[in-house]
Structure 1
Amino acid sequence: MDGIVHRTVEVNGIKMHVAEKGEGPVVLFLHGFPELWYSWRHQIVALSSLGYRAVAPDLRGYGDTDAPTSVTSYTILHLVGDIVALIDSLAVDQVFLVAHDWGAILGWHLCLVRPDRIKAYVSLSVPFMPRNPKVKPVDAMRAFYGDDYYICRFQEPGKTEAEFASSGIEQVIKNVLTSRRPGPPILPKEGIGSYPNTSTTLPTWLSQEDVTYFSSKFANTGFTGALNYYRNLNLNWELTAAWAGTQVKVPVKFITGDLDVVYNSLGIKNYIESGAFKKDVPFLEEVVIQEGVAHFNNQEAAEDVSNHIYAFIKKF
C-alpha cells in the first residue's frame, strides 16, 4: 500500500480522516460496519494504478474521524452532509461512488438527495431499499425476525458495547468479517462474540495484520459511533419522508455474493429477481452475483470486485 496518503479534512463540523492514492477522476469509497477506509485497501491500489484518484474516508464515528457523542448526530442526513462536504473538499463536481454495507445505504441516500454529485454508483451487498410508508424499519425487522435480530439487539445504547467488550474486540472483528452463514443474523443470548462460531484459522483473504489493524482502531474509538448508525434507522425513516417513492436516477451496478447475509434476508433476493429493484433504480445496468462469496466481498473477492468497478466506470 505504498503511496497511500493520509490527511484530515474539515467536513460538516467534524474532522474526517481520508486515505487516498492516484491522480485522475475521483473514485470515492464508503465502508460499512465494522470497517474502516482500510476495507478498500485492494481497490485503492487497483484503481489508482488505472488512472483514477482513489479516496476512502473513515466515516463519522469510525477510525481516525471524529465521533460525536450524541446518538442523533448519526442520522442519514448527517452522513450525507459529511460526504457532500468531502466531495467539495476534493474540488470536483462529481465522483464515481463505490460503497459497501452501511456505506452502501449512505450511497443510495446520497444518490437520492444529491444525484448531481454522482457520475455513477457501484453498490456492494446492499441494494436500494425503498421506504415503506406504513412501518418503521426496526419495527418491521423486530416483527419479522424477533428481538435477537442483530439490528434489534443493537438498539439499546451501551448493551452491545458491553457484549463486544466481554467477547474481546479482536474476536468480534474476526467473527463478523469471516462469517459465512447466509441467513439473517440472529445473535445468541451470550453475545455477538460467540456468533458465528468461526474457525481459529483465518481465510486466505484476511491476514492477522488486517485483523490487528481493524482491532487497534476500534480499541481506540469503541463501537458506539458505529452502532449509532443502526440506532437512527427509525429516525431516518421520519427524516426521509419527503423522498418516499423517489427513484434513484444515476447509473448503477450492483455486486453481491450468493452467501451474503443481506442477499439472503429481508426479502432482498426476491426484490432483485422480481424486477422491483430495476423499477426503483431505472438506470441499474447490471447485477452481479458472485458464487461462493459472503458479505465482505470487497475483501474476500477483492480482485474480482476491482475488475467489475473498473469495467463499469471506464464507460463514463
Structure 2
Amino acid sequence: MEGITHRTVAVNGINMHIAEKGEGPMVLFVHGFPELWYSWRHQMVALAGRGYRAVAPDLRGYGDTDAPPSATDYTIFHLVGDLVALLDALALDQVFVVGHDWGAVVAWWLCMLRPDRVRALVNMSVAFSPRNPARRPVDSLRALFGDDHYICRFQEPGAVEAEFARISTALLLKKFLAYRKPEALLVSKEKGFGGSPDTEITLPSWLTEEDVNYYTSKFEKSGFTGGLNYYRCLNLNWELTAPWTGVQIKVPVKFIVGDLDLTYHTPGIQDYLHKGGFKRDVPFLHDVVVMQGVGHFLNQEKPHEISDHIYEFIQKF
C-alpha cells in the first residue's frame, strides 16, 4: 500500500520480513498480538511523508517471518536480539522506536538491555512493568484473575491452538481486534475463545473487511503458536532477567494509552502511571497521554492522532 516495500533480512538465526517506506532518520515500529507489520500502515505513510524512514518487521513467529518451533525460542532475549540484529543488518547505530502491546514490552526491554541503540521511545498501551522478585508474572495474574484469565489459558501448549482451529481465523481475529469489555480477558474452557462459529462480530469503524482479510491470510499461513509462545515465556523471562531487577529505563519516553483500553484498568496501573511510580522507573519520561474514548488498538483506531503524537515527540531529538 502507498509505496511500502517489502524484503526479507537474515537476523539472529531467522529470516525476518520487514516493510519499509521513506528516507531519513529511522523509526522502528514493533507490533503486538495478534498483529503484524500491517498494524503500523498508517503511521508508516505519515512518518515517511514527514522525512523519516519507517521500518516495521513481522516479529519472530508472525506473518512472513520465521517461526522457530520451540516455545523457548521466544524469550525476551531472542526478541530483543532480533531487533538489535536487524539494526546491525541495516547498518544503523541508533533509531527511534515505537511499540504497542507485546511490541511495547519488547521495546521496554530493548531500552533496558541496549539503550545505546534507542534515540527515543514512544510506547503504547502496555506500561513498563518492573520485575517483581517475589512472584512470577503468570502466578500474579492467576492470583488476581483466576485460571480463566486469557494469559493463564494461553500457557498450555496446543490447547488454545486446538480451540482456535475450531472456528474461522477471520472470526477469531475480529473477536480479538474488536474487544472492549473486561469480560473479554476471562475465557473459561467451557466458553472457549471463539464462541459460536455463527457469532456475528460488528467491525469497529477503523477496521475494514479488507484489513481483516490481510491479517487472516497471514495467520492462516503462520498459525498463532508463535505469538502464543511470547506468553508462554513470561515465567521463563522472569527467571532469566533476575540480574536486571531494579534497572531503570533511561531513554526519552512518551507513553500513550486509551482510557477504554483494558490495560489501563488493570488494578493499580492508574496510580502507577500518574502518582510517581512510572516516573521513578522511567526517569526520562516526558509525557503520559491518556486518549479519551479510545480502546486498545489505538494506532489503528486513531491513526492520524497517533502519527502526530509520534512525530511531535521524536522531532525533538
TM over 0.5: yes
Task: Give, in whole Å, the separation in 2 of the partners of 1:157 and 1:183.
Answer: 23
Q: CA deviation at 1:183?
A: 6.3
Corresponding position of 1:28: 28
For 1:217, the aligned partner's letter is K
**1:174-230 CA deviation, whole Å, 9 max, x = no partner?**
0111111156711143211139x9863322210000000001100001100110000
Corresponding position of 1:250: 251
Q: Does 1:192 align with 2:201?
A: no
Corresponding position of 2:315: 314
**Farther off after superposition, 258-267 or 27-36:** 258-267
**1:47-105 CA deviation, whole Å, 9 max, x = no partner?**
00000000000000000000000110000000000000011112111000000000000
Q: 1:223 to 1:266 in 2, by over 3 A?
A: farther
Structural mapping, 1:115-126, within 5 Å: 115-126=115-126
Q: CA deviation at 1:168?
A: 1.7
Q: Is the 8 A contact 1:125 1:257 kept in 2?
A: yes
Q: Is the 8 A contact 1:178 1:198 kept in 2?
A: no
SS at match of 1:61: coil
Corresponding position of 2:222: 221
SS at match of 2:233: helix
Q: Is the 8 A contact 2:175 2:201 kept in 1?
A: no
Corresponding position of 2:18: 18
SS at match of 1:201: coil
- Provide structure 1 residue ranges, at least 5 long, that are not aligned to the other structure: none
Task: Give, in whole Å, the separation in 2 of the partners of 1:184 and 1:142.
Answer: 16
Task: Give, in whole Å, the separation in 2 of the partners of 1:300 and 1:183.
Answer: 21
For 1:257, the aligned partner's letter is G
Taking structure 2 as the reference length, the TM-score comes to 0.97
Corresponding position of 2:131: 131
For 2:221, the aligned partner's letter is N
**1:247-298 CA deviation, whole Å, 9 max, x = no partner?**
1000000001001111111422221122100100000000000111000001
Task: Give, in whole Å, the separation in 1 of the partners of 2:58 and 2:290.
Answer: 27
Taking structure 1 as the reference length, the TM-score comes to 0.97
Corresponding position of 1:88: 88
For 1:135, the aligned partner's letter is R
Q: Which runs of 4+ in 1 moved over 4 A?
A: none
Q: Is the 8 A contact 1:184 1:264 kept in 2?
A: no
Corresponding position of 1:232: 233
Aligned residues: 315
Corresponding position of 1:281: 282
Q: Is the 8 A contact 2:171 2:201 kept in 1?
A: no
Corresponding position of 2:45: 45
Corresponding position of 2:144: 144
